[in-house]
Amino acid sequence: MKTKPENWHGLGPFTVFDVETTGMSPVYDRIVEIAAIRVECNGEITRFQSLVNPGCDIPLSVSCVHHITNDMVANASRFREVAFEFMELVSGSTLVAHNARFDLGFLQESLARNGMPLWRGKTMDSLKLMRQVYKGLPSYSLQNLRRTFQLDDDVVENMQAHRAAADVEWTLQLIALAFTALLKHAN
């Protein structure tokens, strides 16, 4: 049975996720926010988002990028508590992130640091997928792709760019575009 382009989610289930952090190193820095959207094979969607108390200060230079402050995470749950719910959500799906090496690196390091099982499921990088399907674009950054493909900003109306929930919504729109294009070409 072939999957119709409009039913790209039939290739799943997929869970698109994103993290915001205290810096660039999974070893030395910590997650301050995690968000995900799980898309079932029938198209049903489940959303997840949580701030995370990193147990350390968020540098001002980093806070200026994602706008998450120390006050915002002071009373948030620690990673271990959030991770149980997140890992239950993603179980049995393909984990998708834009520039997955970064997000997956933080996820794996955080799971290991907390004595939890590592992610052993399938993963996919939407950045690599977009490079494959839409060759020759000047930039494949999430914000550039958002502008290039005029992604739906209504979905993220009350969200900020560089926040995990907004970035997950845009990444989901990108993989829908890419899979739809691939399936049209295949049929």
Considering the candidates 66, 98, 162, 185, report the single residue annotated as catalytic: 162
151: which DSSP letter?
A: -
163: which DSSP letter?
A: S
Residues in CB range of 147: below 8 A, 6 or more apart: none
> Does residue 162 have an active-site annotation?
yes
Please list the alpha-helical segments (H only) found in 47-125: 60-66, 70-73, 79-90, 100-113
> Which two three-digit tokens encode residue 120?
């052993």
Element containing residue 166 per DSSP (H, E) = helix 164-186
Other C-beta atoms closer than 10 Å to the C-beta of 183 total: 18
Catalytic (active-site) positions: 162
